[in-house]
Amino acid sequence: MNKAIRITKSREGWILEAALILLAILFVIPIYYLIVTTFKSPDEATFHPLALPFHFTLSNYYEAWNAMNYPKVLMNTSIITVCSVAGIILFSSMAAYSLARRDHAVNRAIFYFFLAGMMVPFQMGLVSLFKLINSLGIMDTLLAVICVNIGGGGIVALFLFKSFITASVPIELEEAAFIDGCSVQKTFWFIAFPLLTPVTATVAILSTLNVWNDFLNPLLFLQSRENSLILLEVYRNIGQFSVDWTSLFPMLLLGVAPLMFFYLIMQRYVIKGVAAGALKG
């Protein structure tokens, strides 16, 4: 009887493993198609879409590099990403610390007010936001996109920081610092903030992914080619009636390569930070 049960469980395990392998193959096929197409000529990509390149060439990458003005758009995208993520971490961590350590009705109402912003679609405020940016005189500047990114991305970051501080930062350390004469600012920067490394890394990763892949905000607030970003250049090189996939795919890979490199370095912090911040709300 036990032997029959073991055989049945073994078969179920093999079936499950085979199903997972097939599922993995389904996910890998589009990535494989994307990569191999970048090394093909247009005719070869059309008539042999899934075959390996018969004539291996890097000319598609060379053309995409020049068409996008890649060094310039990479610098613009990097500036916006770094400044936006730094602003999100800076303002959200300070606000979360204040809301977490002053637990009274007013602070709770402010926190719920911020959370309510997560329930309102971002697109509903685009017209007002466009008018605001235009009235400030920063239209068609990188600063406009940075400010919008900080305002939009700070809500989720605030929630993560507050949850982590409440659950994982001992208040006794801060009380000891106050007894030793530390001000609130010094206590936050020298005592509390160093303990926020896991959630800070998580916020940095999630914010970087969102800002780097954002298309709508740059499309609205950046009009000149001088301030263009990677995704805008990819969009501008798509034809109105047809698309040259051998030109588009290298642009996509050039755009996503820095992001993949960053994510591979930082991914070990994601689960740790999210799990620690989710223990207590």
**Per-residue tens of pLDDT for the chain, all 281 residues:** 555 556 666 677 788 888 888 988 888 888 888 888 888 888 887 788 788 888 888 888 888 888 888 999 999 999 999 999 999 999 999 999 988 888 788 888 888 888 887 787 777 888 888 899 999 999 999 999 999 999 888 888 999 999 889 888 888 888 888 888 888 888 888 889 998 988 898 899 889 989 999 998 999 999 888 899 998 988 887 765 567 777 788 888 888 888 888 877 777 766 665 555 444 44
For the entire predicted model, the pTM comes to 0.83
Closest CA to 218 of 191, 255, 181, 169: 255
CA distance 222 to 3: 68
The CATH superfamily of 60-277 is MetI-like (1.10.3720.10)
Q: Residue 91 and residue 86: Cα distance in Å, rounded?
A: 9
Asked if 245 and 63 count as a contact pair (C-beta separation under 8 A), the reply is no
Rounded to the nearest 10 degrees, the angle between the axes of helix 197-212 and helix 245-266 is 170
pLDDT of residue 150: 93
pLDDT, position 207: 92
Q: How far apart are CA 32 and CA 28, in angstroms?
A: 6
Distances (CA, A) of 218 to 128, 135, 136: 16, 17, 17
CA 271 to chain centre: 15
pLDDT value of residue 218: 92
What's the CA gap between 151 and 244, in Å, rounded?
37
pLDDT at 240: 59
Number of CB atoms found within 10 A of residue 281's CB: 9
pLDDT at residue 142, as a whole number:
94
Count the neighbouring beta carbons within 10 Å of the beta carbon of residue 186: 13
What DSSP letter does each residue of the chain carry, written as one string? -HHHHHHHHHHHHHHHHHHHHHHHHHHHHHHHHHHHHTTS-HHHHHH-SSSPPSS---HHHHHHHHHHTHHHHHHHHHHHHHHHHHHHHHHHHHHHHHHHH--SHHHHHHHHHHHHTTTS-GGGGHHHHHHHHHHTT-TTSHHHHHHHHHHHHHHHHHHHHHHHHHHHS-HHHHHHHHHTT--HHHHIIIIIGGGGHHHHHHHHHHHHHHHHT--HHHHHH--SGGG--HHHHHHHTS-SS---HHHHHHHHHHHHHHHHHHHHHHTHHHHHHHHHHTS--
pLDDT for the residue numbered 281 = 42
User: Domain-by-domain residue ranges, the chain?
Assistant: 2-59, 60-277
